[in-house]
Copies of this chain bind each other. A is one copy, B any other.
Amino acid sequence: MKPSIPKGTRDFSPTEVANRTYIINTIKTAFETFGFQPIETPSFEKSSTLMGKYGEEGDRLIFKILNSGNFFYEKDSIDLPESYEKLKFNSLDDLESKEKIELNRFTNRISGKALRYDLTVPFARYVVQHQNEITFPFKRYQVQPVWRADRPQKGRFREFYQCDADVVGSKSLWQEVEFIQLYDTVFTQLGLAETTIKINNRKILSGIAEVIGAQDKLIDFTVALDKLDKIGQEKVETEMLSKGITSAAIQKVQPLFSFDGNNQENLDALAKMLTTSEEGTKGVEELRFVINSISELGLQSASLEVDVTLARGLNYYTGAIFEVSAPKGVKMGSIGGGGRYDDLTGIFGMKDVSGVGISFGLDRIYLVLEELGLFKTVALPKPKVMFVNFGENEALYCMKAISQLRVKGIKSELFPDAAKMKKQMNYANKREIEFVVIVGSQEIENDEFTLKNMVSGEQSKCSLLELIQTLL
């Protein structure tokens, strides 16, 4: 039986690694050009660091690590859930909340660590833990895998990379401006023209909720509004109604369902609608600053679009929120997102540290570039030249040359076995190696090499120096 890997995970072939590395390096280079510094955090954190930070659904999707050794053993022994017999015979969805609580308590007894769910909470933990070593404002980037026990589907995996850049320790809106430029820079360099960077502001959403008199239902409101693109206006309204938002309230926000003028017009309309809300007005002002600054500075290939339906699921955002859509015509969810959070480190006891950040979705960007055929220029990790192996003497002669080539940084290898010529040439062909060197007794005698260009088929004799010059 062939071995296999857990669902939602992937092996990456050499070509895939090369393509992924190309994307990651493009993003990292841009991060550093914008003044960000890299950090890394452990793959697993204490459960107490992660649990309760992503909502009930998030908690469920966190991979927990079983304590090592005899996990049943504890100083004061371990108690099975009272409802153990029920747990045995019912799936999670069929459990009552008391039973779920018991299950969680037992889970915490046998598992004290969990795999990272995103890079944001570990970053907040890092900032609090290392606050005395950090110079604020702290601009950090982080490119690492995260894990979620989600149902796998196209563009959604159980192990995937996040590429995050955040600044903490300043409320300056110039950072929002910079993050938009950063998105524009990366996607332009990847050849992904015509991406749309959508921007909104949580204060505007709060303002809207305030104006319609449903402040306490802001989360329900935004979660429903977020689905407008996917399920359409009617179903969004049905969901809002089902959450207790009144029909009258929904009527007041009708203009939001059909915004389609330019950014300035949208901002003007919002400003008017939110006059009575202090917070909403603040949100419009913030958005206006960002939009105007970007107008002044220009973008290379992306467009910036105010989108009042943009809400994003995460509750910790408090100011700007971003989301990037792939170029039109490519079916793919957002390929990036982020926003400002005024109190992320608060969950770890460090108050009043505002932050703002964005994330690039590596795996989705990969799928988009692949679909658009944009990996053509990526150099594959293969040798420039292969030396044919005719036996011990010839191989030693070749190895001496190969050592010289490698010192010059020329990727080269000897075919390991003195196999049939055809087999060796087949290998070179399959790996698409550009040059092959052939050395027999005659070449050794004359201290030379026969160099064959596998693309043109040309073949010629040369000295070691000429060989190096050709291959460099």
A72 to B234, CA, bound (A): 41
In the complex, are the beta carbons of A88 and B77 less than 8 A apart? Answer: yes
Task: Give the residues in chain B near A133, CB-CB below 8 Å.
Answer: 13
A80 located at the interface, meaning its Cβ lies under 8 Å from any Cβ of chain B in the complex = yes
In the complex, are the beta carbons of A88 and B95 less than 8 A apart? Answer: no
Task: Give the residues in chain B near A411, CB-CB below 8 Å.
Answer: 32-35
A348 to B2, CA, bound (A): 7
A255 located at the interface, meaning its Cβ lies under 8 Å from any Cβ of chain B in the complex = no
A383 located at the interface, meaning its Cβ lies under 8 Å from any Cβ of chain B in the complex = yes
Nearest B residue to A70, CB-CB: B92
A69 located at the interface, meaning its Cβ lies under 8 Å from any Cβ of chain B in the complex = yes
In the complex, are the beta carbons of B167 and A416 less than 8 A apart? Answer: yes
A105 located at the interface, meaning its Cβ lies under 8 Å from any Cβ of chain B in the complex = no
In the complex, are the beta carbons of A6 and B410 less than 8 A apart? Answer: no
A128 located at the interface, meaning its Cβ lies under 8 Å from any Cβ of chain B in the complex = yes
Partner of A413, one of B63, B139, B185: B139
Nearest B residue to A182, CB-CB: B406
CB contact under 8 A between A11 and B39, given known A60-B68, A65-B65, A78-B88: yes
Scoring A residues 323 to 357 as 1 if CB is less than 8 Å from chain B, else 0, what string do you get? 00000000000000000000000001100000000
Looking at chain A, what size class is its interface with the partner chain?
A: 35 or more
In the complex, are the beta carbons of A38 and B66 less than 8 A apart? Answer: no
In the complex, are the beta carbons of B159 and A42 less than 8 A apart? Answer: yes
A64 located at the interface, meaning its Cβ lies under 8 Å from any Cβ of chain B in the complex = yes
Partner of A103, one of B72, B90, B412: B72
Task: Give the residues in chain B near A89, CB-CB below 8 Å.
Answer: 73, 77
Task: Give the residues in chain B near A263, CB-CB below 8 Å.
Answer: none
What's the nearest-Cβ distance from chain B to residue A90, in Å? 6
A296 located at the interface, meaning its Cβ lies under 8 Å from any Cβ of chain B in the complex = yes
Task: Give the residues in chain B near A135, CB-CB below 8 Å.
Answer: 427, 430-431
A293 located at the interface, meaning its Cβ lies under 8 Å from any Cβ of chain B in the complex = yes
Scoring A residues 376 to 396 as 1 if CB is less than 8 Å from chain B, else 0, what string do you get? 000001110010010000011
Scoring A residues 8 to 23 as 1 if CB is less than 8 Å from chain B, else 0, what string do you get? 0111111011101100
In the complex, are the beta carbons of A416 and B60 less than 8 A apart? Answer: no
Task: Give the residues in chain B near A177, CB-CB below 8 Å.
Answer: 399
In the complex, are the beta carbons of A65 and B64 less than 8 A apart? Answer: yes
A89 to B65, CA, bound (A): 22
Task: Give the residues in chain B near A92, CB-CB below 8 Å.
Answer: 69-70, 73
In the complex, are the beta carbons of A33 and B396 less than 8 A apart? Answer: no
In the complex, are the beta carbons of B70 and A35 less than 8 A apart? Answer: no
In the complex, are the beta carbons of A39 and B12 less than 8 A apart? Answer: yes
A37 to B14, CA, bound (A): 6
Scoring A residues 73 to 88 as 1 if CB is less than 8 Å from chain B, else 0, what string do you get? 1100110110010011
Nearest B residue to A347, CB-CB: B3
A409 located at the interface, meaning its Cβ lies under 8 Å from any Cβ of chain B in the complex = yes
In the complex, are the beta carbons of A185 and B406 less than 8 A apart? Answer: yes
A367 located at the interface, meaning its Cβ lies under 8 Å from any Cβ of chain B in the complex = no
The chain A residues found within 8 Å of chain B, CB to CB, are: 1-6, 9-14, 16-18, 20-21, 29, 32-46, 49, 60-61, 63-66, 68-74, 77-78, 80-81, 84, 87-92, 95, 103, 107, 110-113, 115, 125-126, 128-130, 133, 135, 137, 139-140, 145, 147, 149, 159, 167, 170-172, 174-175, 177-178, 181, 185, 293, 296-298, 348-349, 381-383, 386, 389, 395-396, 399-400, 403, 406, 409-414, 416-417, 427, 430-431
For the complex with contacts A36-B381, A44-B159, A137-B416, 12 further pairs of A-B residues with Cβ separation under 8 Å are A3-B128, A6-B46, A13-B130, A35-B386, A43-B159, A65-B66, A69-B92, A70-B87, A71-B107, A170-B417, A174-B395, A297-B403
Q: Give the 10 A-B CB pairs with smallest separation, nearest first.
A: A35-B413, A172-B416, A9-B42, A14-B37, A68-B149, A72-B87, A12-B40, A17-B38, A170-B416, A69-B92
